[in-house]
């Protein structure tokens, strides 16, 4: 794979979003292989440790019992989802400013990953809610704003599906930027409004048992490592798609 490929930018509306200047050096096959050789095993080891701690080390919560252990992967899923949408936010701004395909590819990849992890939040949360509150869903602030976030980025992916042209890419970038505004709203919803959702306190005077706090930290680390290499391979997929499209365009031209 030639990672120093450079191509002319698409300038006019409706024109096909041609592959742009080279993506990052880390996506070069040899470099990426070395990075993945470290990140992938490290993430699996930390996930295994987090799983062990969640099941056996962390104490059983008094009222919610074992269902509360869902928390140790529900919160990291939310964290990684928000992190992904932050990447979409930054990459979308850079794409609108620089008009380089690599930022658009990064935004698209991060949006897809963010939707996957937010889906996990919306699937695991109700399972925990049923055990804790006796119901799968309530229309409280945090749950509703999280659902809205998911819908916004599903809309982003739908906008990008099918024809990939500059106009759609720019519209999606704007959506990606505006959609991120929901993330701080979700985070602050438990303090702004009355809500059933627990407010996570991890400071020294907070409500988490120290063993629970340590387990959560390990789980957060494990999911962050997982997210890092999944994002890398997903962006690489976009890079390779562009390389294939370019080669085919050159053969036809």
Partner 1 sequence: MRWRCDARRKKVKMESMIVAYAIIAIVLTAYITSIVVRTRKINRALEQD
Decide: is 251 part of the binding site for partner 1 (CB under 8 A): yes
Decide: is 65 part of the binding site for partner 1 (CB under 8 A): yes
Which residue is associated with the tokens 């809610």?
Answer: 129
Asked if 230 contacts 100 with a C-beta cutoff of 8 angstroms, the reply is no
**Secondary structure letter of residue 214 according to DSSP:** H
Decide: is 70 part of the binding site for partner 1 (CB under 8 A): yes
Nearer to partner 1, 55 or 181 (CB): 55
Among residues 156, 244, 139, which one has the least CA distance to residue 195?
A: 139
Residues from 143 through 172 that contact partner 1 (CB under 8 A): none
Nearer to partner 1, 177 or 232 (CB): 232
Nearer to partner 1, 84 or 177 (CB): 84
Q: Which stretch binds partner 1 (CB under 8 A): 91-99, 100-108, 137-145, 236-244?
A: 236-244
Could you tell me how far CA 182 lies from the centroid of its own chain?
14
Q: Is 58 left (phi over 0), alpha (psi -120 to 50) or beta?
A: beta
Q: Which residues pair with 16 in a beta bridge?
A: 165
Q: Is 14 left (phi over 0), alpha (psi -120 to 50) or beta?
A: left
Binding-site size for partner 1 (CB under 8 A) equals: 33
State the nearest-atom distance from the C-beta of 128 to partner 1, in Å.
Answer: 7
Number of alpha carbons in the 13 Å side-chain half-sphere of residue 205: 0
DSSP conformation letters of 40-59? HHHHHHHHHHHHHIIIIISP
Q: Which stretch binds partner 1 (CB under 8 A): 81-89, 142-150, 186-194, 243-251?
A: 243-251
Nearer to partner 1, 203 or 253 (CB): 253
State the nearest-atom distance from the C-beta of 24 to partner 1, in Å.
Answer: 17
Task: Kindly report the length of the chain.
Answer: 253
Backbone angles phi, psi at 61, to 5 degrees: -70, 145
Residues from 109 through 138 that contact partner 1 (CB under 8 A): 116, 119-120, 123-124, 127-128, 130-131
State the nearest-atom distance from the C-beta of 132 to partner 1, in Å.
Answer: 9
Decide: is 240 part of the binding site for partner 1 (CB under 8 A): yes
Which listed residue (23, 73, 82, 89) binds partner 1 by CB under 8 A?
A: 73
CA distance linking residue 202 with residue 213, whole number of Å: 7
Q: Which stretch binds partner 1 (CB under 8 A): 17-25, 66-74, 146-154, 191-199?
A: 66-74
CA distance linking residue 202 with residue 225, whole number of Å: 21
Decide: is 226 part of the binding site for partner 1 (CB under 8 A): yes
Residues that bind partner 1 in the complex, under the rule CB under 8 A = 1, 51, 64-67, 69-70, 73-74, 77, 116, 119-120, 123-124, 127-128, 130-131, 226, 230, 233-234, 236-237, 240-241, 243-244, 247-248, 251
């Amino acid at each position: 794979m030639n990672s120093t490929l450079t191509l002319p930018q698409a300038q006019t509306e409706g024109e096909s979003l041609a592959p742009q200047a080279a993506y990052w050096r880390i996506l070069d096959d040899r470099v990426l292989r070395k990075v993945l050789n470290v990140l992938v095993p490290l993430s699996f080891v930390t996930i295994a440790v987090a799983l062990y701690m969640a099941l056996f080390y962390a104490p059983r919560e008094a009222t919610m019992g074992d269902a509360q252990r869902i928390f140790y992967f529900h919160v990291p899923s939310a964290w990684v989802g928000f992190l992904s949408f932050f990447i979409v936010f930054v990459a979308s701004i850079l794409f609108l400013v620089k008009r380089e395909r690599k930022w658009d590819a990064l935004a698209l990849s991060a949006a897809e990953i963010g939707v996957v992890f937010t889906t996990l939040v919306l699937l695991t949360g109700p399972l925990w809610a049923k055990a804790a509150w006796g119901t799968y869903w309530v229309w409280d602030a945090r749950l509703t704003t999280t659902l809205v976030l998911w819908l916004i980025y599903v809309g982003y992916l739908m906008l990008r599906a099918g024809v990939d042209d500059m106009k759609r890419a720019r519209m999606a970038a704007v959506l990606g930027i505006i959609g991120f505004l929901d993330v701080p709203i979700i985070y602050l919803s438990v303090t702004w409004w009355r809500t059933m959702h627990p407010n996570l306190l991890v400071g020294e005077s907070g409500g988490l048992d120290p063993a629970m706090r340590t387990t959560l930290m390990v789980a957060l680390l494990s999911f962050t490592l997982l997210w890092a290499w999944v994002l890398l391979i997903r962006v690489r997929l976009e890079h390779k798609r562009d390389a294939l499209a370019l080669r085919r365009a050159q053969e036809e031209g």
